[in-house]
Structure 1
Amino acid sequence: MPAITWEAPFCAEGNNCFRLGTDADGNGYIAIAGQEDRFLTDSIDALRALITDIKAGKADHLL
């Protein structure tokens, strides 16, 4: 498993808490807080775009 540096959890009201992480190779990760051993991975730019859209309300049903 890669060495992932996880950020503090992002929690929306009444929903799961998610954590974002990065590794030294420039990959981005997203996982449900407490389940960091099961994660999605993609480029940091792709995950940044996903999170930006979620925070902008374009995909709030995902949270």
Structure 2
Amino acid sequence: MVADIRWEEPFCAEGNNCFRIGTDAEGNAYIAVAGQEDAPLTDSREALRALILEIKAGKVDHLL
């Protein structure tokens, strides 16, 4: 795990797992299931932002 990831508060959709997004000092973005921040997925900020927006819109809840 990268020690300097700044995690946001968990986002929890009704009836689904909670996830957190974070960034590091170099601008990399991370996403992890809340409580499992030691094994985040990473991609560009734009890719993760697009994924988060789709999740929040209820389009991909089944992925969580």
State the TM-score, normalizing by the size of structure 1: 0.88
How many equivalent pairs are there? 63
Structure 2 segments unaligned to the other structure (5+ residues) = none
Q: Which residue of 2 aligns with 1:57?
A: 58
Structure 1 segments unaligned to the other structure (5+ residues) = none
Q: Which residue of 2 aligns with 1:45?
A: 46
Alignment RMSD: 1.2
1:8-47 superposed Cα distances (whole Å, 9 cap, x missing partner): 0000112111000001111100001111001100111110
User: How high is the sequence identity, in percent, across the aligned residues?
Assistant: 75
Structure number with the higher strand fraction is: 1
Q: Which residue of 1 aligns with 2:26?
A: 25
